[in-house]
């Protein structure tokens, strides 16, 4: 995930009705109302029982997903930010000049130096979104 | 965030109606305003989130298949867009957190001890503080601390 993708998710989240959403009404007539506590009923979820792919279990699971979506996206984006900030802090602590210096010193006899230089590259790769 | 919270969020996403979800303005052939006056047909002003269900195995060929499923309706545009995208954003965010944790776990518990063990004493002294700084920061992240 790139920083741009994360920003896009955060912007989309901020454009939605502010949560957390609540689901307080009992199931009734195949419908469910969820939404912000101060505007209950803004989200209307019909239960299409005629479709065999949409079972009552699937319906309930979808209601749970919708009701928790606003808070979950908030929690998840904050956690991604927190972890990225930490990696950035590690990356920053190496510093541009220091990293270049380390890379010049890489050699078979300098195991620790080489490892730290490799770490610098790995942390930068992580921040770019590469797999480990 | 604990691993249990992450698993719970992932489970909710896995059990919900599969994506992709999309959104569009709801259309109605006829509808009334709040006072009961007929407004004719057209856009309702509300947005809907929907998906298309796949035809189930064994579905009779001569039987019509209604693949359109309305997930949610009566939404404003911003909320419809958010809900439609959340179907894929939430699993993507869960994956991203696992990926970052994997990196930080590597930093905190992987290479540092090895590097400190295999480097000569001079090298250890030279880079000791730096390596321990990384180790400490990464360990804090994995505990859930704020930087």
Can you tell me the ipTM of this complex? 0.78
pTM of the model: 0.77
pLDDT of B45 reads: 80
Per CB-CB distance under 8 Å, the chain A contacts of B115 are: 111-112, 115-116
**Contact B46/B25 with Cβ under 8 angstroms?**
yes
Which one of A76, A106, A113 would you mutate to disrupt binding with B, by most B Cβ within 10 Å of its Cβ? A76
**Contact A31/B73 with Cβ under 8 angstroms?**
no
Cβ–Cβ of B74/A42 closer than 8 Å?
Answer: yes
Cross-strand partners of B75: B47
pLDDT of A38 reads: 61
Q: In what order do the strands lie in the sheet with B68-75?
A: A21-22, A31-36, A43-46, B68-75, B42-52, B22-28
Report the C-alpha gap between A112 and B126 in whole angstroms. 9
pLDDT (mean) for A38-58: 65
Strand ranges in B15-118 using DSSP code E only, listed in sequence order = 22-28, 42-52, 68-75
| Cα B64-B70-B75 angle, rounded to 5 deg | 155
Per CB-CB distance under 8 Å, the chain A contacts of B17 are: 54, 58, 61-62
Among residues A12, A21, A61, A60, the alpha carbon closest in space to that of A41 is found at A21
At A62-113, the pLDDT tens digits run 888 988 999 999 999 999 998 888 888 777 766 655 655 555 554 444 555 6
At B30-86, the pLDDT tens digits run 666 667 777 666 777 889 898 988 877 787 888 777 778 888 888 889 999 999 999
Chain B residues 85-124 within an 8 A CB cutoff of chain A: 85-87, 89-90, 92-97, 99-104, 106-107, 111, 114-116, 118-120, 123-124
Beta strand A43-46 pairing with A31-36: antiparallel
pLDDT of A107 reads: 46
The distance from CA B12 to its chain's CA centroid, rounded to whole angstroms, is: 10
Residue B21: pLDDT band (50, 70, 90) is very high
pLDDT of B102 reads: 81
Chain A residues 75-114 within an 8 A CB cutoff of chain B: 75-77, 79-80, 82-87, 89-90, 93, 110-113
């Amino acid at each position: 995930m790139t920083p741009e993708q994360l920003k896009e998710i955060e912007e989309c989240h901020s454009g939605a009705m502010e949560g957390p959403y609540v689901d307080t009404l009992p199931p009734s007539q195949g419908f469910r109302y969820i939404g912000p506590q101060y505007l209950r009923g803004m989200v209307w979820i019909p239960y299409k029982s005629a479709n065999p792919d949409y079972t009552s279990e699937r319906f309930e699971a979808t209601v749970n997903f919708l009701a928790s979506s606003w808070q979950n996206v908030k929690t998840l984006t904050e956690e991604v930010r927190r972890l990225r900030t930490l990696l950035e802090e590690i990356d920053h602590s190496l510093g541009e000049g220091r990293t270049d210096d380390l890379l010049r010193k890489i050699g078979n006899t300098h195991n620790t130096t080489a490892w730290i230089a490799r770490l610098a590259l790995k942390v930068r790769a992580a921040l770019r979104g590469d797999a480990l | 965030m604990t691993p249990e919270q992450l698993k719970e969020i992932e489970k909710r996403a896995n059990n919900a109606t599969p994506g992709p979800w999309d959104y569009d303005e709801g259309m109605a052939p006829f509808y009334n305003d709040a006072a009961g006056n007929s407004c004719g047909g057209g856009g309702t002003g509300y947005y809907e989130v929907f998906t298309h269900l796949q035809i189930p195995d064994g579905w009779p060929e001569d039987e019509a298949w209604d693949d359109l499923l309305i997930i949610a309706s009566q939404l404003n545009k911003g909320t419809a867009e958010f809900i439609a995208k959340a179907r894929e954003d939430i699993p993507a965010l869960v994956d991203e957190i696992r990926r970052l944790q994997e990196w930080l776990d590597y930093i905190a518990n992987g290479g540092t001890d090895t590097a400190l063990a295999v480097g000569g004493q001079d090298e250890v002294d030279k880079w000791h503080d730096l390596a321990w700084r990384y180790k400490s920061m990464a360990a804090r992240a994995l505990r859930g601390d704020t930087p």
